[in-house]
Amino acid sequence: MAIPVVARRLAAIGLLLVPALFGQVQPGVAARSELKYFRNLLMGVANLEDSRADLDRREKTVVAQFRLNEAQAKALRAVADEFRRGLVEIRNSANSVKSARPGGLTDADRARLRDLATARDEMVLRLVDRLFREVGPEAAQRMRAPVSW
């Protein structure tokens, strides 16, 4: 028997949220409470609307800000490139939902768009977890420090 999607998502959220509530965020795991910060960070280095030159400039700023070495900068670039590819897929799916209903969206269409937003956020958490593993605990801590203001 397959576990319903909602139940799987709730379980995943619970696994991420409970440690954060008790101040026990694992060093290599992005907490749900950090999602907005890391989504904005990744959008800064992977935004679909920006030129490659703008993205490179922003990436260099992030590398300097968090004092990343060359290998860590490469890990950031790889994560940003994967995020950008994922954003293209999500944008294409969203555009197809919107264009299918020129007269207005149905409840099912709105639900599909919410699912796409959830998929984007899950992708952010997955990619940040990967980035943390690749840059190491010290750099990961520097990257998440602004979240703890």
DSSP letter string, the chain: -PPPHHHHHHHHHHHHHHHHHTT---TTS--GGGHHHHHHHHHHHH-TTS-HHHHHHHHHHHHHHTT--HHHHHHHHHHHHHHHHHHHHHHHHHHHHHHT-TT---HHHHHHHHHHHHHHHHHHHHHHHHHHHHH-HHHHHHHHGGGG-
CA dihedral 37, 31, 64, 55 (to 10 degrees): -50
**Which pLDDT belongs to residue 147?**
53
For the whole model, what pTM was predicted?
0.76
- What's the average model confidence in pLDDT over 17-23? 42
Q: Which of 23-27, 44-48, 69-73, 142-146 has the lowest mean pLDDT?
A: 23-27
Band (3; pLDDT cuts 50, 70, 90): low
30 — pLDDT class (breaks 50, 70, 90): confident
Find out whether 92 and 58 touch, Cβ atoms under 8 Å: no
7 pLDDT higher than 80: no
End-to-end CA distance of the chain: 44
Range of the domain at 46: 5-148
Q: Is the pLDDT of residue 21 over 70?
A: no
Give the total number of structural domains in the chain.
Answer: 1
* pLDDT score of 22 more than 50: no
Q: Which of 22-36, 44-58, 84-98, 133-147 has the lowest mean pLDDT?
A: 22-36
Q: What is the pLDDT of residue 123?
A: 97
- For the residues 51-63, what does the mean pLDDT come to? 95
**Calpha distance 140→37 (Å, rounded):** 14
